[in-house]
Structure formats: C-alpha cells, structure tokens
A and B are shown apart, each in its own frame.
Chain A
Amino acid sequence: MPATFDLNDDSVVVIIGTGAGGGVLANELAQKGVKVVSLEAGGRYLPDDYINDEWESFGQLAWVDPRTTSGDWRVAKDFSGLPAWIVKAVGGTTIHWAGASLRFQEHEWKAKTTYGDVQGANLLDWPIDGAEMAPYYEKAETKLGVTRTGGRAGLPGNNNFKVFEKGAQALGYKEVHTGRMAINSGDYDDRMSCQQTGFCFQGCKWGAKWSAAYTDIPRGEATGNLEVRDRCHVARILHNEAGKVTGVEYFDKDGNLQMQKARIVCVAGNSFESPRLLLNSASSMFPDGLANSSGQVGRNYMRHMTGSVYGVFDKPVRMWRGTTMAGIIQDEARHDPSRGFVGGFEMETLSLGLPFMAAFLDPGGWGREFTTALDGYENMAGMWLVGEDMPQETNRVTLNHDVKDQYGLAVANVHFDDHPNDIAMRNYAYKKGMAIYEAVGATRVFPTPPYPSTHNLGTNRMSENGRDGVVNRHGQTHDIANLFVSDGSQFTTGASENPTLTIVALAIRQADFIAGEMSRGNL
C-alpha cells in the first residue's frame, strides 16, 4: 500500500513529476527499496476517467497554466499561449503519447562528430552511446511491451496505415510497417490488447497502451516505498551552505506552501518546467539558478522538426478508426547530407478527429479553401513528420517575470527560431509525404504546420564536460551531486525518434546509479 512520509523525513528521494522520466524513476527506486516522495502538479486520472472527445479531454488533461512564447516558429503565432501539448496529471504525458517506441540510431548519440560543424547549431556528442544504452533499451522495451521487439507481434494495420503503406511502396520505401509501439498486440503484463478504438492521444480507456499512470505508479506504491502527492506544484528547490539540496517547497492541493526535506532531489517536470524550476530556485549562492554554472539551463531547447501531411482521396479512408500512430516509414531516418540537411526524419501515421482537424489543419485559415478541405474529412489520410532538429543556444526557456502563474511564480517563456537545417528538412519531408499520397491517387494534399510541441527536449542537457551542459552521463547535475534531472530535458541532441523510450531507458539506468551511489554512501 502507498507509503506516507513525514515532511521532515530527510532520508527520502523527492522526484518532481510522474511522467515517462519521473514516474518510471519513482517505481524503479521503490522496487529497490528506496523511499520516494513524488510530487505531481496534476491530478489522478485512470482509464475509466479518460474522455474520448478531443476538446473535453484536452480540458481534463492538458497543461494550460500560463506560458509565453517568442521567436519565428509558427506555434508562437498560432498558439501563443500554448507552446506545448503535454499533460498535467499523475503519469504525465504518458497518458497522451501515441506509443511510438524507437531506439536512437548509433550515429545519433554522436551528432557533433557525425554532422560536423553546422553553423548556428550548438551540437554536442552525448557522453553515452548505443552500446551503453542497449541493455536499458531492452529493459524499457520489456517494461512497455513494445511491439516488434522481444518477440512481441506487430499491431494490425488500420485504414490510414494501408493508404500510407501503399504510397510508401509506390515510392520504393522498404522500411514500412505498423511500428514499434507500446500498445499491446496481445495480452501482456496484465494489460489487454488494442481494440482499435482511436483516441490514443486522449488516454487509452482499455489500458492497452503503456502509461506510467496505471503501471509504474501503482506498482511503485504497492511496494510501500512510494508516496505520490498529486496536485502539488513545486515552487523552489532548497539548498544548504554546502551547496547540497535539502528539500523542496511546494504548494499543496489546498494552495498551502509546504516544505518536504530530501536526501536527493530529481527534477522531471518536462523541458519547460524543469529549467523553470531550476531558474526559479535562484539564491544568493546560485544567483543564476541551480545547477547553472555553465549558463546552459534552459538553453538548447529542441522540439523536433515536425509537420503533418494530409491527403484527400475520392473515396473514404476513415483514418480515425484504429490505433492513431501504428504506421511508420523509416527509410528517411538515416543521415544523408545529399538531401540538403543533416540528420533524418521518421514518417508516422496520424489522425485527428474533426474538432482538432478544424483547429490544426491550417490554423487561422478560413473560407472555401479551408472548408472544402474539411468537407473531405472522411476521405482523408494523415501522417506526422518527426525529425532531428538542431540545438541552438538562443532557443531557450527563460523566466518571464511579467507573467505569473496561479501561485505567483514567474512563468516560462519559450523562445524558438527554426534553424535552416530544420526548414530544409521540413520542406523535403513535406514533398515526400505529399508524394506518398499522390502515388495513391490523392486529389489534394496539405502540408500542415507544426502543432504545439509534444517532444520537448534539451533544456538541461547532458554533457561530458561541465562547461557544456547541465548534467553528467547519469543525469546528475554537474554542480550539485544530490540534484538530478530525470526527463527529456537531459537530451544532448534530439535524434529523429519519438523520445519516450529513451527517456524511460535513461530513467531505469539512473535508478541503478542513484541506488548504487546511495548504498555506496556517496549520496
């Protein structure tokens, strides 16, 4: 049964956030006998609670606390107050994610070495590589039940996949299948198989998709070593004169300020909230924020090169039926500078319901050019383009002191300018995506701009050398030994793959390190 720890218990590990990073880390540590207090800003929602209605679900799950945006990215114009489509709930964005679970390619761990100097990009090699991560990827795939790994079968292809597959074959693509998905193709790990219901983004009501909300969190609680406090928003991380962190201040569900002591603090609030918290924790000893001697906290924000392509056909597709993202073309994921850009991209099936299609197909669009597109909704097929974007020092999360959240805390401003490499890749990817649908007879195709970001990466990046980044190869901050970063903000570079599997693998690995350091008496 769930543990209860005293606010003055300074033997606990405090983890901030319960998503793919924090939620997995909490369970992994609890399984090893480590006492953990997890603080989650959102509430608890389980499959029975999920709503298969796009706007209602958005209202239930999305993080809509104020944020601001700047830069030339189109999201800042179309969705100025909503730079990200991520979740505020126990389990975090593992409720919303589509389930695509891909390992990095070997060269993507070494972007600087592989791509060389790219003007304007702040590239760096990860201090770890594929060989180091292979056993942790296997553990992550086993935990998530990833299809097409470990002998698990692939998912069946839905209508949207069949259109996509036929077009891909017409263009000569070879690596085309229904994906490596953390969505069960058969019963696995006490979770049932996919019922082809759609609404993967709104939380899987069958529990067929892996989410920390109903796997790692309750299993961690069952050990008696984990207490999850929901609706608790962390305001500040505290430290002593020796420069070690000692606990956190947070607003509880009643809005009262509390202080939880801690032996170790792990930050896993996503790539906006994690740097925001480190910056908002500035003190006289650390005037630029915690763990920020490098000045890299908040910098190198990456969101993946993204875009979508929709095609309209003369006959029905009904793309919304079935698993949202069970379809992938991987041929373009390679690094091949002859295409006019470094790095690569994946093409993955995607569908939106009519309400979100109206909001996202061409934000701001109106008139018959727009409405005739929606008139073809039933005959539409869709795909998402997701590729590696370039880290840039000036793409960053900063504190906006002019805008405060409901607790009076400065909100995150998210600044992003597309790098020329991102633009070249997007334009190339649009052409390929449109060609795929035209090869199947599309009568009209739409190169749709990026949505608010779901892959938010890099704002506390991992580096071998303390001057280049915020955390070391274990996610431990270079500056403060008992302060860790445990989410996607650790990413040194973004690679072309959906990031969740790597976040989970890093969290499993970090749990080994933290438990080991604790038992060795180093932490």
Chain B
Amino acid sequence: MGNNQGPKGLTRRELLSRATAAGATFMVGTGFVTSGSAAWAVEASALKPETLATLVQMARDIYPHDKVADEFYVIAVKGYDTAEAAPAIEAGIAALNAAAQGKGNASYLDTGWERDRVDILRGMEDSAFFQQIRGGLVTGLYNQKAVWPIFGYEGESYSQGGYIERGFDDINWL
C-alpha cells in the first residue's frame, strides 16, 4: 500500500510530504473532525519540531497500537502543522509539558513510561486541546487505507466481485 520510505520514528526535520488518507471535511460532534485531503509541507514548518514530535508521542499514547509504525501517527497529526493551527497546538503542547513538569519530569517526551504519560493525559482529557487531538485521530489514524491491513481489514471488495467466491463463509473453527 505504499509510502514505506517514511522515517523510522520521528526524526523531526525529515518529515516526508504526503497526503492524508482522510476524505471528508465536516465536523459532526465532539471534536469529531476529519482532516480533509490537503497535502502539507515537507518539514515542520509552522510548528516547532519539538512540538510536532511531542504531538506524535501524544497521538500514540492516546491510540497505542504497537504494530502501527510512527509514520502513520505522523500522517495523522501532520495536518496541524499549519500557520492557522499552530498557535493553539503550541499552547496545548506547552500545557502538556507543564503538566509533565508538575509530575517531576523534564517534559512530556522525557517521561519514560507510557503509564506516566497516560496519567498526564488523564489529567487533561476534558480539555478542548485533548479532545481536538483525540477526535481528529479517529479519522486521521484509522481512515488511512495503508493502516487497514495491519488490522486485517480488507476495505472494498466490489472491484474483486465481492466475497461470494472469496470466503464470505469460510470460517472453519466453529
């Protein structure tokens, strides 16, 4: 499904240009917004690189899937790297780091254990910033077609004639 030239882990200034997989562009409820089809710049242009790195870690901590590589989380949040979105994201990440420091860590990224980072997130889960990031990830992460095979999901089947001869009833363990 493509795009495997992406960075291993987030290397900050080396983010590759690519389009999001999300299709729709409307808001339907609690921070439930699709990320549209806009392409983005090659690097963290509007956000500080550290901010983007923290945002990617935050995304993974909200929806942790150990089999899903960082590149997909990068794609999921890269849409916030715009001049319009950046100020609110910078403020949100600053609050996240302040919360981490309040628990004796140098920063959110410097907080080693996932459970400690999740504690920090639990403390801010009602904030508009957290809900914006979480809501955006629902489509930003799970609507990437390249992610689907990791979960075994096959997507459309019409182009292959459906499953009538391809295993719609092939369960063999019942």
Interface residues of A (CB under 8 A from B): 52-53, 55-56, 58-59, 64, 77-82, 156-159, 162-163, 166, 194-199, 205-206, 315-318, 320-322, 353-355, 357-359, 363-364, 366-368, 370-371, 374-375, 377-378, 440
B11 at the interface (CB under 8 A from A): no
Partner of B29, one of A53, A58, A78, A317: A78
- Residue among B28, B34, B139, B154 facing the most chain A CB atoms (10 A cut-off): B28
A357 to B143, CA, bound (A): 11
Decide: A81 near B164, CB < 8 A? Known: A162-B169, A205-B158, A375-B65: no
Q: 17 A-B Cβ contacts within 8 A?
A: A53-B23, A55-B22, A55-B34, A158-B168, A159-B171, A195-B162, A196-B164, A197-B164, A206-B162, A321-B157, A353-B155, A354-B151, A359-B139, A367-B64, A370-B63, A371-B65, A377-B152
Decide: A64 near B26, CB < 8 A? Known: A367-B118, A371-B64: yes
B5 at the interface (CB under 8 A from A): no
Contact A59 B23 (CB under 8 A): yes
Contact A195 B23 (CB under 8 A): no
B residues 137-151 with Cβ under 8 Å of A? 138-139, 141-143, 147-148, 151
Task: Return chain A residues, CB-CB under 8 Å to B164.
Answer: 194-197
Contact A358 B142 (CB under 8 A): yes
Task: Return chain B residues, CB-CB under 8 Å to A371.
Answer: 63-65
- Name the prevailing secondary structure of the A interface residues: loop
A452 to B138, CA, bound (A): 17
Contact B151 A59 (CB under 8 A): no
A374 to B147, CA, bound (A): 12
Contact B169 A322 (CB under 8 A): yes
A366 to B34, CA, bound (A): 17
Task: Return chain B residues, CB-CB under 8 Å to A375.
Answer: 65, 67, 151
Contact A440 B142 (CB under 8 A): no
Contact B142 A80 (CB under 8 A): no
B84 at the interface (CB under 8 A from A): no
Decide: A354 near B32, CB < 8 A? Known: A195-B164, A196-B168: no
- Residue among B141, B158, B161, B164 facing the most chain A CB atoms (10 A cut-off): B158
Decide: A322 near B28, CB < 8 A? Known: A55-B23, A59-B23, A367-B118: no
Chain B's nearest CB lies how many Å from the CB of A346? 22
Can you name 18 extra interface pairs (CB under 8 A) apart from A52-B157, A58-B24, A196-B168?
A55-B22, A55-B23, A55-B34, A80-B30, A157-B169, A158-B169, A163-B174, A195-B162, A195-B163, A196-B162, A316-B171, A318-B154, A353-B153, A354-B147, A354-B148, A357-B142, A366-B63, A377-B152
A368 to B163, CA, bound (A): 32
Decide: A318 near B157, CB < 8 A? Known: A55-B139, A80-B29, A374-B65: no
Task: Return chain A residues, CB-CB under 8 Å to B139.
Answer: 55, 355, 359
A195 to B134, CA, bound (A): 37
A27 to B34, CA, bound (A): 38
Interface residues of B (CB under 8 A from A): 22-30, 32, 34, 61-65, 67, 118, 125, 134, 138-139, 141-143, 147-148, 151-158, 161-164, 167-171, 173-174
Contact B24 A318 (CB under 8 A): no
A52 to B145, CA, bound (A): 12
Decide: A199 near B156, CB < 8 A? Known: A55-B139, A55-B143: yes
Chain A's nearest CB lies how many Å from the CB of B79? 15
Task: Return chain B residues, CB-CB under 8 Å to A53.
Answer: 23, 155-156
A317 to B34, CA, bound (A): 29
Decide: A378 near B152, CB < 8 A? Known: A58-B24, A367-B62, A368-B64: yes
Contact A321 B168 (CB under 8 A): yes
Decide: A355 near B143, CB < 8 A? Known: A320-B153, A321-B167, A371-B65: yes
Task: Return chain B residues, CB-CB under 8 Å to A317.
Answer: 171
Contact A166 B23 (CB under 8 A): no
A368 to B64, CA, bound (A): 6
A179 to B32, CA, bound (A): 34
Residue of A nearest to B135 (CB): A364
